[in-house]
Chains A and B, each alone.
Chain A
């Protein structure tokens, strides 16, 4: 299922781009992240605790950035495993500068579930993705508007 969304972040594009490259920031913004380590250039390992409806449990995720066009676009692929199933997704983020020093992020992605997850959450994945994205971008917006990076 194709999902997409659009969010405005209250910071200039360069700053938003920089935030998106920082594993520390991502760890704080992605809901449920307990651990995020850069394992190679363009590659992170993350541990997420997710509890959204039937999608529950500890996920071991591998995030690879497959395309990076600073500061306007990046594509990443995610492969997250849990005992109840596997989530794979590719997603693209496009950053465009808005007036007043803010940035619009248009994103789209295609999450795919396997295993019991597909069984239990298949019809919910669109909504879950939207919800998780809303939380992520709200967090990112907070990071962007905080005067000092933590």
Chain B
């Protein structure tokens, strides 16, 4: 048996036919013609509709629920309450990542006893139509006795704060730390400068444009459930619903995630509504559908970020960074959802080293319960929070020390020869070369000219700001054994099945999932490349637990690095077997066979050969196979990565402040990313564009506001300001290519880089412009009012009372 290719990266021998090409997306025709097939587009015979009665209080005791008026409406089939689920022994929605001493309060799909945030489900109506179900919700009378509530993380930790759950005294979900505190303290003693920063990384609503939806069907004869749902990872849903919540035998539950209109993390998690429709479908023996209204999405989609942090950076007098200390309060919201505990810990604290050579980094994180919508992974998940903190404090240091923001970074970069690089916060960076990305970006920007323009402008009341973000992130989640040690109750490998049919057509089943990322194109490029066959001969199938063996889905920029690698390895197995068949048919040794353009040939013999079709057909006919070979041509590979991958790059934002209104206009955005070899530049750049827009949104526009009683004040697109076309310029994008050494494609994730980098770049740009007004730090989001006040001297640098 020939050796399977090792999963380490090997650069391709020659030019590639598909990989690296800007191939137009295979999935697009259906979307541009309105034939996309999203969950809410699906209607089945006999379907009923669910509507939720959601708590108007952030915290209240549930008393009597009188549903008689609702039930009296013709066409209302049931009203479900928390008691119904408790009676049926429906389990709590589980937390999928554990930390030492983590407090996990019960999380019933329908609140039982108490509600814990505005939006928590109190009761559910199942009726013939959606309108009727919603009408009936309005007729349910619930006795809710308001209890004290708390919405801000730091306030939840204060003495005498309202208690969210009795299971978590003092509202502490966990205390976590990483790094060597003593080493950091020692370096702080040697420091010439200490830069302090107190920042809020405010809360965001993911707002995928497709609201969540779920449709459950139950087949009484076979006791089988089918759940269509808006999911980034249908197998995780099946596992959690089966094993923890509903007790459905796992093989009797099929979860299908059809076209999904964006996720950004928010469609990873196990949600109450999925539990409810499955429960109701069996109870009523009718299909039950629920689709969120946007106003529901705002109070029921898991939210992102929400950190309050204090940090100190120690520097020597020549601007060398010595050590970083960080203390963060992470607001977890009312419950701990699927990945929540991992986000402000292992996806945050480990990234606080950034791209710099620190002697020590120490971080302490307190996870806190509040009466707000739960917080979990949102695009970048922990890494944008870390990057914002590190990049902001580095720029603040430059500002305070009078150094150039690019040069202070350059001076402290980890150097190419240092890789693999062990950081002081557990990670081992795989590969990197940070300076070329910075230089390329500076060149694209015309940095020196822009600095002159900026200086000129300031004299004339024109306020330009230039903001840097030289980021690194860890993605491609992740070595299963490693995440297991860190608390994950999941593996993080990925599956691929390559099924070659007798006619040479290939069906690829992947456990990875596309909700906009373009797997149907990029994965087909990988598969077609292997044999040089037409891309049309490959179909990518995903999002159906009834089809693929298993899979952990898509988040953490893992599709290409983990799912793509699984595919590459499975293709290797196919190639290995197909080569043996071809060699047998050509009466040559397998070592002498090469494959290109869909033809197996004997090396050095241009004539003759066997087509991919010939080989596939013979594999199935099995009339003439090598002695003892099993017929068929199908391979499976479960790829477990050896490490995270570490994409990096330089993002530079240029903004101009309107002195009259405080409006921030982004006039230029330049970035150079390094995600290793690009499978499809079109798709990669699309990911970067969207990521930049989301990060920009946080810096300038978006903010989820709760009042002190836990009422959400920004619950629609009228109050929650989303980035629009006119807010953004054309982006100028380029790449450097530093392959990851440890996966077979050499690729690193790119789905989150834009968001991870851009918030800091934009915030640094605004702060750079505000230096003209004597500020070293103003916190985001930079609303016109805040910027105007800062320009008028009305905003003090936050948290700097001691040293400013």
Contact = CB atoms under 8 A, between A and B. Distances in A.
A120 B57 contact: no
A120 B137 contact: no
B137 A116 contact: no
Interface string B361-381: 000000000000000000000
Given A57-B138, A83-B137, A115-B118, A122 B53 contact: no
Please list the 6 inter-chain residue pairs (A to B) with the smallest Cβ-Cβ separation, ordered nearest first: A115-B56, A119-B715, A118-B711, A83-B138, A85-B56, A122-B713
B138 A119 contact: no
A84 B138 CA distance: 8
B714 interface: yes
Given A58-B138, A83-B137, A114-B118, A120 B715 contact: yes
A120 B707 contact: no
Contact of B711 (A83, A84, A119): A119
21 contacts: A83-B53, A86-B56, A114-B56, A115-B54, A115-B55, A115-B56, A115-B118, A115-B711, A116-B54, A116-B715, A118-B715, A119-B118, A119-B295, A119-B299, A119-B711, A119-B714, A119-B719, A120-B715, A120-B716, A120-B718, A122-B713
A119 B53 contact: no
A58 B141 CA distance: 12
Contacts of B614: none
B57 A114 contact: yes
A115 B718 CA distance: 16
A113 B295 contact: no
Contact of B56 (A58, A116, A123): A116
Nearest to A83: B138
Nearest to B58: A114
B709 interface: yes
Contact of A120 (B53, B140, B295, B709): B295
A119 B57 contact: no
A115 B57 contact: yes
Nearest to A88: B146
B346 interface: no
A17 B773 CA distance: 57
A9 interface: no
B620 to A, nearest CB: 59
Contacts of B138: 57-58, 83
What is the interface residue range for chain B against chain A?
20 to 34
Contacts of A144: none
Given A114-B118, A116-B56, A116-B299, 4 more contacts: A85-B56, A86-B56, A113-B711, A118-B715
Interface residues of A, number: 17
A115 B140 CA distance: 16
Contacts of B53: 83
Interface centre among B118, B137, B711, B718 (most CB of A within 10 A): B711
Interface string B98-132: 00000000000000000000100000000000000
Contact of B707 (A58, A84, A116, A118): A118
A119 B716 contact: yes
B712 A119 contact: yes
Nearest to A85: B56
A57 B138 CA distance: 9
* Main SS class of interface, A: mixed
Contacts of B429: none
A121 B530 CA distance: 58
B637 interface: no
Given A114-B57, A115-B57, A122 B137 contact: no
Contacts of A58: 138
Nearest to B140: A83
Nearest to A124: B718
B413 interface: no
Contacts of A16: none
Contacts of B137: 83
Interface string B13-45: 000000000000000000000000000000000
A61 interface: no
Contacts of A113: 711
A114 B55 CA distance: 10
A117 interface: yes
B692 to A, nearest CB: 29
B298 interface: yes
A117 B715 CA distance: 9
A118 B712 contact: yes
A2 to B, nearest CB: 15
A83 B69 CA distance: 14
Contacts of A118: 118, 707, 711-713, 715
Interface in B243-290: none
Contacts of B54: 115-116
A120 B718 CA distance: 8
A123 to B, nearest CB: 7
Contact of B713 (A81, A85, A119): A119
Contacts of B299: 116, 119
Interface string A27-64: 00000000000000000000000000000011000000
B295 A123 contact: no
Contacts of A119: 118, 295, 298-299, 711-716, 719
Interface in B682-725: 707, 709, 711-716, 718-719
A84 B718 CA distance: 17
A58 B56 CA distance: 15
B711 A114 contact: yes
A123 B716 CA distance: 12
Interface string A96-122: 000000000000000001111111101
Interface in B38-67: 53-58
